Amino acid sequence: MIALLIRDLRLAIRAGGGFGLGLAFFLILAVLVPLGVGPEPAVLAAIAPGVLWVGALLACLLSLDRIFALDWEDGSLDLLATAPIPLEGVVTIKAMAHWITTGLPLVLAAPVLGVLLNLPPEAFGWLVISLLLGTPALSVIGTFGAALTVGLKRGGLLLSLLVLPLYIPTLVFGAELVSRGAAGLPIQTALALLAGITAGSVAILPFASAAVIRINLR
């Protein structure tokens, strides 16, 4: 399993294009929003948590179709499905590799973009914590979507249509956690619910993704 993880990470970093693209997209979004809504510091501070969360979510979406597409094309997905490790494990590792190459850089870059968007100083900690807690759920849910559309020729747009509604609870609790942190309100509920969604998705969705891959490989 660790070998698979290392292989996926190597492929993501060396194969060019995919890695870093999400990060660049996140940066561009954080630059475009102030240009669009105007440089008013109070306005930016008010919308910063939501913009950063939506940006992270869209950046995550950008690299989803690469999770299975290459392995599907060259047939290594068939080999992985017949490998001694269970397919559920393969799917989890794939999601984890996606998180390490997409989610984790987003978490690390978010505070810098928070400065650009005039995020209140109290909220920086909560921003990092909420993204750290929430982005694994984004990767796992996205892996499910990628598994559903793996056999399709033009699955990219359909993938966004399928995955974005499923991202809503994570987005709501994540952005709510940051804005409550910024306003100095109690954050326990949002924190617990966000963590709960991530834990639940990580525990259950790999089974759904593996089932869907088996159907697609049939």
Enumerate binding residues for other proteins (CB under 8 A).
144, 148-149, 151-152, 155, 158, 161-162, 164-166, 168-169, 172-173, 176, 189-190, 193, 197, 205, 208, 211-212, 215-216, 218
Q: Whole-number minimum distance, CB 135 to other proteins, in Å? A: 17
Q: Whole-number minimum distance, CB 146 to other proteins, in Å? A: 13
Nearer CB in complex with other proteins: 93/190? 190
Nearer CB in complex with other proteins: 71/176? 176
Nearer CB in complex with other proteins: 30/197? 197
User: Under a CB-based contact definition with an 8 Å cutoff, are residues 105 and 27 in contact?
Assistant: no
Q: Whole-number minimum distance, CB 148 to other proteins, in Å? A: 6
Cβ contacts of 91 within 8 Å, gap of 6 or more: 143, 147, 206, 209, 210, 213
Q: Whole-number minimum distance, CB 160 to other proteins, in Å? A: 9
Nearer CB in complex with other proteins: 119/208? 208
Q: Whole-number minimum distance, CB 215 to other proteins, in Å? A: 4
Residue 177's CB is within 10 A of a number of other CB atoms, namely 29
Nearer CB in complex with other proteins: 116/164? 164
Let me know the angle formed at the C-alpha of 194 by 191 and 198, rounded to the nearest 5 degrees.
135
Q: Contacts from 121-127 at CB under 8 Å and sequence distance 24+?
A: 122/181, 122/182, 122/184, 123/48, 123/49, 123/178, 123/179, 123/181, 123/182, 125/181, 126/177, 126/178, 126/180, 126/181, 126/182, 126/187, 127/49, 127/52, 127/178, 127/181
Q: Whole-number minimum distance, CB 168 to other proteins, in Å? A: 5
Nearer CB in complex with other proteins: 13/168? 168
User: Under a CB-based contact definition with an 8 Å cutoff, are residues 162 and 148 in contact?
Assistant: yes
